[in-house]
Chains A and B, each alone.
Chain A
Amino acid sequence: MTALKRLLPGGNSWLAAYAFLYIGFLYLPVVFLPIFSINTSASPKFPLAGITLQWYRDLPKTPALIDAAWNSLIVGVSAAILATTFGILAARAITRYRFPGRRPIHGLIMAPLVLPEVIVAISMLLVMLQLGLSLSLFTVVLGHVLICIPYSMSVLTSGFEGFDRSLEEASADLGESAFGTFRRVTLPMVAPAIISSLLVAFTISLDDFIIAFFLTGTEATLPIYIWGQLRFAAKLPGVLALGTLLLIGSFLLLSIAEILRRRTARRTQSKGPQHG
């Protein structure tokens, strides 16, 4: 209760009540995943028939699932690295330089965020088929990189934005070479933002269904595997168990990303002119 009180420094109690209700609504579907994943019965309803970890034990015994997990891992890691690389270049350009066409170029790069994913997916599908690329995990990576870049960009720009340019100048002034400055000042300061971008991009790739659904060949990623399982009511608890694991995984990754992002923000926003 004290924790709750700390969250509510006075203010409007109706609004606060609404806020808690709303948070409840947001978490409603999420909490049922773990609850029904330990239910003995395959049909998800209350009261639970019994508690079991059977569904979790069955997971590693499903070869299709293991394959899908590997595929997701490969796609996620590749997409995260590529999207972050592209993101670093663009974020650096956006935060550090002024150049003609800056806004429209930025707009295009961020566009996947506000386009219906189906349309992005089918457009890419059309072009890839036209180019004679056979659909595979590679084409999925291409698609994931595109949709991950905007997220990487926002994490990285917020990391780069507070970066005081005079820090690099100070380093040069103290005798350090350009490479030395990058290694000793720039990199340590933006590293958390880069790691955070990698984690966010990986999570997005891991969760994405639509792009993978359209652009993959025969290999399934985890969401595609889940999609396939959803048709069978009996498979539901297994899916719920898998979903719970994914939820915990995403939560951990994103908490790390958030902590790192805050650390960069604190680091880079060098207090500068301070009165008092």
Chain B
Amino acid sequence: MTAAAEGSPPLAADGIRRRPPLPQSESFQGLALISPTFLYALILLLLPILVVFAHSFWTQNYLTIDHTFTLQNYRTALTEPIYLDLLWRSLFVALLVSLFTVVLAYPIAYFISFHGGRHKSLWLFLITIPFWTSYLLRVMSWKVILGYNGVLNSGLMGLGLISEPSTALLYNTSAVIITLTHAWAAFAILPIFVSLEKVDRTLIEAAKDLGDGPLRSFLRVTLPLSVPGVISALLIVMIPTVGDYVTPKLVGGKDGVMIANAIQAQFGKAANWPLGAALSVTTMVVVSLMAGAAVFLIRTAARLVR
């Protein structure tokens, strides 16, 4: 899972021999080879998403779908206080989680990249191991830690810091945020690490040579050059987090519920597919907007630092 988000093409860093323009057959062979996988993704990912999109404009009468175009679902999704609340909370959680993860992950990625020495890959392996444990079990484990009779409460009581178990730890939004921040850590560390690895070390030496101290050279050279990694970390955490289902269900309690739980309900008990579809589309659109705004802000900030 090394830097899966980095879709960088393998450059024929040939240098000496100039590659001639490609013959027609090469494109054909390449396309033929990739087409099964492409078609699979097309049929089982792109097509389904389009179907969801179409459903969001229809209505459901008990078991039959009415194919007349309507915006009613979006009206419901955007005006019903319950959905609006859930949407806002999901966005809020996703924003905080992605911010926390990136801020907490950056120093680690920096440490491994700049001070990891020969053990870089060992560090990376150490970091990824916990993430291969079942997600469900990790969330549940947090429940054990944060619970009323949980490890944290008994620990704090044992130390005499609190006299009775705190209820503030579980079944609320902060429990959701803690759990998710933990859950996505590796996904933030890896892209940042990759972009830090790409920073040419002589650039930092050049900055120091030109009179910058460690902090200034970090702010003026290393940080701006690692912005692509920070951005992909932010996106890879923020977008999936918005639609998280398990965490709010297990540790979120009543006020920790998020939009995915509502979407699931529409496809399950409530049996209102079009509304579920509209909620899905709305979530995707809104989170994309938020992600876009975040990317814009980071880029602007990076430009200002220089």
Contacts and interface: CB of A to CB of B under 8 A. Distances in A.
- So, do A and B actually touch in the complex, CB under 8 Å? yes
B146 to A, nearest CB: 10
Nearest to A259: B125
A15 interface: yes
Main secondary structure of the interface of B (DSSP, over half): helix
B91 interface: no
Contacts of B151: 32, 44-46
Interface in A123-181: 123-127, 130, 142-143, 145-146, 149-151, 153-155, 157-158, 161
B145 A94 contact: no
B48 interface: yes
A254 B136 CA distance: 18
Contacts of B154: 45-46
Contact of B239 (A115, A130, A203, A214): A115
Nearest to A29: B141
A251 interface: yes
B134 A246 contact: yes
A19 interface: yes
A92 B304 CA distance: 42
Interface stretch (A1-9, A62-70, A183-191): A1-9
Given A102-B30, A250-B132, A251-B132, A89 B36 contact: yes
A55 to B, nearest CB: 14
A217 interface: no
Interface string B280-295: 1001100100000000
Contacts of B48: 120, 123-124, 126-127
B41 A149 contact: yes
Contacts of B158: 46
B150 interface: yes
A103 interface: yes
B136 A123 contact: no
B34 interface: yes
Interface residues of B, number: 96
A142 B45 CA distance: 11
A60 interface: no
A239 B139 CA distance: 13
Contacts of B235: 114
Contacts of A130: 51
Contact of A149 (B28, B40, B47, B136): B40
Main secondary structure of the interface of A (DSSP, over half): helix
A100 interface: yes
A30 B182 CA distance: 11
A99 interface: yes
Given A19-B111, A209-B135, A243-B137, A7 B119 contact: yes
Contacts of A109: 37-38, 41
A210 B245 contact: yes
Interface string B242-254: 1111100010000
Nearest to B245: A118
Q: Which 10 A-B pairs have the closest CB atoms?
A: A116-B243, A97-B30, A11-B115, A123-B48, A99-B30, A29-B141, A93-B34, A9-B117, A93-B33, A90-B37
Interface of A: 6-12, 15-16, 18-19, 22-23, 25-30, 32-33, 36, 43-46, 86-87, 89-90, 92-103, 105-120, 122-127, 130, 142-143, 145-146, 149-151, 153-155, 157-158, 161, 200, 203, 206-207, 209-210, 214, 222-223, 226-227, 230, 239, 243, 246-247, 250-251, 254, 258, 262
Interface of B: 1-5, 7, 9-10, 22, 26-31, 33-34, 36-38, 40-42, 44-49, 51-52, 55, 104, 107-108, 110-112, 114-115, 117-119, 121-123, 125-130, 132-138, 140-142, 144-145, 147, 149-151, 154-155, 158, 182, 185-186, 235-236, 239-246, 250, 260, 263-264, 267, 273, 276-277, 280, 283-284, 287
18 contacts: A9-B115, A26-B186, A30-B130, A32-B145, A45-B149, A46-B155, A96-B33, A99-B28, A102-B9, A106-B7, A114-B240, A118-B264, A122-B264, A122-B280, A143-B44, A161-B10, A207-B136, A247-B137
Given A26-B127, A149-B40, A157-B10, 11 more contacts: A12-B115, A94-B34, A109-B41, A111-B45, A114-B5, A116-B241, A117-B243, A117-B245, A122-B267, A145-B40, A223-B136
